[in-house]
Chain A
Amino acid sequence: MSLIDTSMMQRLSHFLDATAARGGVIASNIANIDTPGYHARDVDFRSQLATMMNDNEENTPAAPRIVEVAGLTERPDGNNVNMDREGLALAQAQLQFQTGVAFMKAEIHRLTQAIHEGGQQ
């Protein structure tokens, strides 16, 4: 951890990574909405975020743990992707990403302010 690369920044970048990974999995579900036998997947977001938050000092982003979503109704062709669920999850991932970016912006702003404090604005 340094002056610029704060722990807040590291955690936020992990959060953004996890959210982007989730967006990818959801996009994959949507792309496979008509593939026979395909089962909807999702990132185990909570546990992934927990592991990412715990190994803060070491910069080793864990590979996303992708699990099959339980409790979805299967269509006759063996596919269980639910359009509403995926749409909602995509909106959620997008908003989470937006939140992360907003926090990161605030952090950068804070740092810039600290840098400019001594000199002229």
Chain B
Amino acid sequence: MNLFGVMGISASGLNAERTRAEVVAGNMANAESTRTAEGGPYQRKEVVLQSQGPSSFRMQLANSTGNQSGGLAGGVQVRSIVSDTASPIMRYEPTHPDADANGFVAYPNINPVLEMTDLMGAARAYQMNASAVQAAKAMIQQSIELLK
């Protein structure tokens, strides 16, 4: 592994955490959306993260032949963005244009506390990855210093 590979891993972490923050922001922005393109109220979205396995052939081979090296270090990727299937919150608002026959309006089931803690987690993890980039950068710069 070279030092630029370290930066690539951290970059994948930054990317994943930013996507997570984006999804949380989308959830909070759509907390009151009663209409979507698919019909019905907005459904809360969630990010599924997956660790990137060993990429090189050599490492794949080493793993499949029972070499207990644990595999090469890999980054992280956003596997998918899934919708939360929780049922919507029904509020009695007979004058609302989207009210049903009984006068209830279906609102997205979004808990602001849950979203905020998720956002804080994403921000912290982003910070952590950013400092890993800083560390890798410092190491590269130190290697360049050798040439002076």
Find out whether the CB atom of B128 lies under 8 angstroms from the CB atom of A30.
yes
Chain A contact residues: over half helix, strand or loop, or mixed? helix
Given known A94-B135, A101-B143, contact A31–B1 (CB-CB < 8 A) = no
Tell me which residues across on chain B come within 8 A of A31, comparing CB atoms: 9-10, 12-13, 16, 75-76, 129, 132
Are A27 and B146 in contact, CB atoms less than 8 angstroms apart? no
Partner of A94 from the list B2, B58, B76, B138 (CB cut-off 8 Å) is B138
**Number of B positions contacting A (CB below 8 A):** 43
Q: Which residues of A contact B17 (CB under 8 A)?
A: 34
Contact assessment for B73 and A27 in the assembled complex, using a CB-CB cutoff below 8 Å: yes
Alpha-carbon separation in the docked complex, A16 to B139 (Å): 10
Q: Does B31 contact A (CB under 8 A)?
A: no
Q: Is the CB of B135 within 8 A of A93?
A: yes
* Residue B99 interfacial (CB < 8 Å): no
B67 CB, min distance to chain A CBs, angstroms: 9
Contact with B along A92-103 (1 / 0, CB 8 A): 011001100100
Q: Kindly state the separation between the CA atoms of A33 and B13 in the bound complex, as whole angstroms.
A: 9
**Chain B residues in 8 Å Cβ range of A30:** 10, 13, 125, 128-129, 132
Residues of chain A whose beta carbon lies under 8 Å from any beta carbon of chain B: 16, 20-21, 23-36, 38, 41, 63-68, 83, 86-87, 90-91, 93-94, 97-98, 101, 104-105, 108
Q: Contacts A98-B142, A105-B146 known; list 12 others, CB within 8 Å.
A: A24-B73, A30-B129, A31-B9, A31-B13, A34-B49, A36-B49, A65-B69, A66-B71, A87-B131, A97-B139, A101-B145, A108-B146
